[in-house]
Amino acid sequence: MVLSDGFLVLPLLIAVLYASVETVSDVYSRKNYQRKIDVDSNVQQPWRGQTTLIFALLAVSLGLGNVLRLPYVIGEQGGGAFLLVYVAVLTLVVSPVLIAELTLGSLGRSSPMGSIQWVASLAGRDTRWRWIGALQAILALSIASLMMVPAVLGAEASFYLYRGDWDAASANDIIDTLSGIDSADHLRVLGVLVALVIVAALPGPQVVLFLAGWVILPLILLMMYAGLGFAFDVGDIAAANEWIFKYRPEQLTEAGIFSAALAALSSLGAGVGVGLVFGSRSPEGLPLVRSVIAVAILDTAFMLVLAIIIVAVTAAVDVEMVQGLALLVVSIPYATANLPTGELFGLVIMMSILLATVAALIALIEPMVSILRREFDVPRLLAMMIVALVLWVSGALMMSEPLARQTIDTWLVPVLVPFVLGVTALFAVWRVPRPILRGEKYREPFAVFYVWYVIARWLTPVFCFTLSVLALLRLVL
């Protein structure tokens, strides 16, 4: 009887075990299949690849690359000596953080907040680190608001160049024309630009990657090529070479070193959520370290080409080199309008700058849109409308209140951006175990991965926090 009972129990146990295994396997398969669907929906097949990521990041970085400041500051602060500091900070600080952000985004496959929360959970860390993503999105939207001012004035200046109104005009004529534009017209142009950015970004990050990398970037490069030919034909290339590349360390001041570091920090879009968003949409297994190195090299090269064009053209008509809005809406239009066939090529130069700005704006609004959509379940169209309204209102405020614009600009990039970069690096390489990071970079040679890891762990956070504190002290004292 005991033997008989054993024969009855054994098949029952086997049946229960089999059913349990089947149930567990079923649940696991469904979750695995759902994750595959999520990844496939994030990574669109027609343009998946390393080239798309590089091109998209390059287009965005060109728009964030301080084109309106660097041509002036480079020459004023020692030329080649300034560039050495710029390249050093770009290599040792900015690029490592961007690599870390792309890695976190690739691991998390969500919004900036969701990606960091996922990685923190995977590493067994406090999920409150996710607020780094929210802070980055706020910074991105603030920078986008500041960028709306040169975008609006640059678009208006381009319109007058296109109509030929400034043929042989003086600098005062240009200033009078722009000063006479009604504030309501400024707001209308602002609305058109915001609508353009929203429409371009509406289909989603995967379309943004494609649009920035394969549509906007080729147009920018084509215009830069035409502008460079114009600069060689009628510009003063010798003056541009002297101003930008001659090594003059005696002219590099403490303020110049600080300016070079800040210019590098805001060049590649690190610290403002772009890396997290692009990383979440990139194919798995990309060589992220080499991709960012390529972007840094190409961005620096194209930035220098644009600086050569601007300096050569303005030097040809003996225009004093300036920076900021005066360079964009006065010096460049005046110089080109007073050179042979200059209005056409002036328009080309202006449009290349505006296109780069639009590419950056499209990328800068995406972190906040993705947070609203993923973390608060707001439909994408509604999230875009909310961000568009915030961008239009804040852009209008920046245009009507120069003091507010100057105050935000003074605190935003010098203090907050390096602080956020330092916190991001601190989380990525101090709180996330190295095997997790290495697993996401398995296509990189170990030596390349290890060099990045050491720099990001021991150098980048120290430099970022030090720079943020020094900037704060300069403002307070």
pLDDT at 137 (0 to 100): 97
Closest CA to 115 of 248, 233, 279: 279
Residue 59 lies in a domain: no
Residue 412 lies in a domain: yes
11, part of any domain: no
Task: Collapse the DSSP code of 378 into the 3-class scheme (helix H, G, I; strand E, B; otherwise coil) and give the result.
Answer: coil
Are 73 and 267 within 8 A, CB to CB? no
Question: Under a CB-based contact definition with an 8 Å cutoff, are residues 145 and 178 in contact?
Answer: no
Work out the burial of residue 35: count CB atoms within 10 Å of its CB; fewer than 13 is exposed, 13-18 middle, 19 or more buried.
exposed
**CB 252, CB 77: distance < 8 Å:** yes
DSSP letter at 167 equals T
Q: Does some domain include residue 6?
A: no
Burial of residue 162 (CB within 10 Å: 0-12, 13-18, 19+) is middle
Could you tell me the mean pLDDT of each successive run of 10 residues in the chain, 477 residues long?
Answer: 40 43 38 42 49 90 85 94 96 96 94 96 95 96 94 95 88 92 94 95 86 92 95 95 95 93 91 94 86 94 94 94 92 92 91 94 96 95 96 94 87 92 97 94 91 96 95 89
What local confidence, expressed as pLDDT, does residue 169 receive?
Answer: 84
CATH number reported for the structural domain that contains residue 119 in this entry: 1.20.1740
**Rounded CA gap, 419 and 410, in Å?**
14
Q: Is 269 left (phi over 0), alpha (psi -120 to 50) or beta?
A: left
Q: Which residues pair with 79 in a beta bridge?
A: 247
**Do 56 and 209 touch, CB atoms closer than 8 A?**
yes
pLDDT at 451: 95
Q: What does the pLDDT read at residue 48?
A: 57
Q: Is residue 52 part of a domain?
A: no
Report if residue 398 sits inside a domain: yes
Which range of residues forms the domain containing residue 345? 68-476
- The answer to whether residue 29 sits within a structural domain is no
Burial 5-21 (b: 16+ CB within 10 A, else e): eeeeeeeeeeeeeeeee
How far is it, in rounded angstroms, from Cα 346 to Cα 447?
46
Specify the pLDDT at position 330. Answer: 94
DSSP 17-47: HHHHHHHHHHHHHHHHHHHHHHHHHHS-GGG
Does residue 9 fall inside a structural domain?
A: no
pLDDT value, residue 40: 40
How many domains are there within the chain? 1
